[in-house]
């Protein structure tokens, strides 16, 4: 029996048999790990509350034939307590977990930067000091940079000509100059591009001064870019509540249809 230990965030849980669950983590050293928590659905289990989504835990595994098995769990941060009681924060958190799950597709492949992004985003949601919509969009745009899909905002995505540029193409990967502009490109407001740049760079004072229109337009562009690269829809994004921004799944579709 080979034991190993790591810290991670619980991304997803699935039922297995009558009393077990498969727990999916994104971990600090081993990337994505899927492991069985035996007997966790029994009322007498001491692990149940420690392996729920949003939990930040120190966990010990032993290596199994197909799935590893969880033997010990210690809670580091109970982010769920500060997230689950607010629908806006909860839906934003679910979108963060689903994105992390999709972006760490290969089990065992180290994804340290993604792990740190997830921990930071969930901590910001749980603290409640920032707008959950901005926290989500900052996570998504930085997660794309981790995957090598960082959108061009301050330069042309095709020729690298310095901006600002008025056109934006999802297929091209961001802002485009007049020479490189594909047919059907969107024309977001300059404030929207400034907001996206601020979210990339962590300039929160700029992001928090942005208007509702810029946040709505930026959220649509960021979500459309992410789903273009992932080549699939994220189920949680249309459910995200964006108070005062009035964004929904239709914003994602309209941003994508502009291409």
Note if the bond before 209 is cis, omega within 30 degrees.
no
Rounded mean pLDDT, 46-71: 91
Higher pLDDT, 108 or 5: 5
b/e code 12-25 from CB counts within 10 Å (16+ = b): bbeebeeebbebbb
- End position of a domain, from candidates 61, 80, 99: 80
105 in a structural domain: no
CB 112 within 8 Å of CB 28: yes
Pairing state between β 31-37 and 20-27: antiparallel
Pairing state between β 31-37 and 68-78: parallel
Residues 125-168 have pLDDT tens digits of: 999 899 999 999 999 999 999 999 999 999 999 999 998 899 99
Rounded mean pLDDT, 165-194: 94
Farthest CA pair distance, the chain: 66
Task: Return the percentage of the chain with pLDDT > 90, whole number.
Answer: 78
Residues 12-34 have pLDDT tens digits of: 999 998 899 999 999 999 999 99
Residues 228, 139 share a domain: yes
Rounded to whole angstroms, the Cα distance separating 22 from 177 reads 48
pLDDT above 70 for 249: no
pLDDT above 80 for 10: yes
pLDDT above 90 for 65: no
- End position of a domain, from candidates 80, 106, 122: 80
DSSP tag of 39: T
Rounded to whole angstroms, the Cα distance separating 252 from 248 reads 7
Tokens encoding 207? 């992001």
Helices (H), the chain: 80-83, 87-103, 112-127, 132-146, 190-201, 204-208, 212-230, 249-257
Which range marks the domain in which residue 75 is found?
3-80
The number of folded domains in the chain is 2
Q: What pLDDT does residue 68 have?
A: 93
Rounded mean pLDDT, 217-244: 89
Rounded mean pLDDT, 250-257: 43
pLDDT above 50 for 253: no
Rounded to whole angstroms, the Cα distance separating 202 from 140 reads 13
34 in a structural domain: yes
91 in a structural domain: no
Residues 145, 68 share a domain: no
> For residue 58, what are the β-bridge partners?
7, 74
SS3 21: strand
DSSP tag of 166: S
Q: Is the Cα torsion angle 149, 190, 124, 224 positive or negative in sign?
A: negative
13 in a structural domain: yes
Q: What pLDDT does residue 1 have?
A: 55
Q: How far is CA 114 from the centre of its chain?
A: 9
The torsion defined by the Cα of 172, 161, 221 and 115, in degrees rounded to 10, comes to 90
pLDDT above 80 for 242: no
Residues 167, 54 share a domain: no
pLDDT above 70 for 251: no
Residues 60, 139 share a domain: no
Residues 239, 158 share a domain: yes
pLDDT above 70 for 259: no
Residues 106-125 have pLDDT tens digits of: 887 889 999 999 999 999 99
Residues 223, 145 share a domain: yes
64 φψ region: left (φ > 0), alpha (ψ -120 to 50), beta (else):
beta
């Amino acid at each position: 029996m080979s034991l190993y230990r790591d810290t991670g965030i619980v991304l997803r849980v699935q039922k297995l048999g009558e009393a077990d669950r498969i727990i999916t983590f994104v971990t600090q050293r081993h990337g994505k790990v899927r492991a069985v928590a035996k007997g966790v659905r029994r009322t007498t289990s001491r692990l149940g509350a420690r392996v729920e989504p949003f939990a930040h835990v120190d966990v010990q595994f032993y290596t199994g034939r197909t799935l590893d098995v969880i033997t010990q769990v210690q809670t580091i941060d109970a982010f769920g307590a500060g997230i689950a009681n607010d629908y806006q924060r909860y839906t934003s958190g679910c979108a963060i977990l689903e994105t992390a799950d999709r972006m760490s597709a290969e089990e065992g492949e180290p994804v340290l930067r993604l792990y740190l992004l997830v921990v930071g985003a969930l901590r910001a949601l749980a603290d409640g000091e920032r707008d959950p919509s901005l926290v989500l969009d900052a996570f998504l745009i930085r997660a794309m940079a981790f995957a090598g899909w960082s959108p061009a905002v301050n330069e042309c995505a095709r020729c690298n000509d310095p901006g600002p540029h008025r056109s934006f193409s999802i297929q091209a990967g961001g802002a485009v100059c007049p020479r490189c502009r594909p047919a059907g490109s969107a024309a977001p407001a300059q404030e929207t591009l400034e907001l996206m740049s601020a979210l990339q760079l962590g300039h929160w004072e700029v992001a928090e001064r942005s208007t509702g229109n810029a946040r709505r337009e930026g959220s649509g562009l960021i979500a459309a870019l992410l789903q273009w690269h992932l080549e699939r829809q994220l189920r949680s994004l249309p459910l995200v509540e964006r108070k005062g921004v009035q964004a929904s799944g239709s914003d994602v579709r309209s941003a994508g249809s502009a291409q």
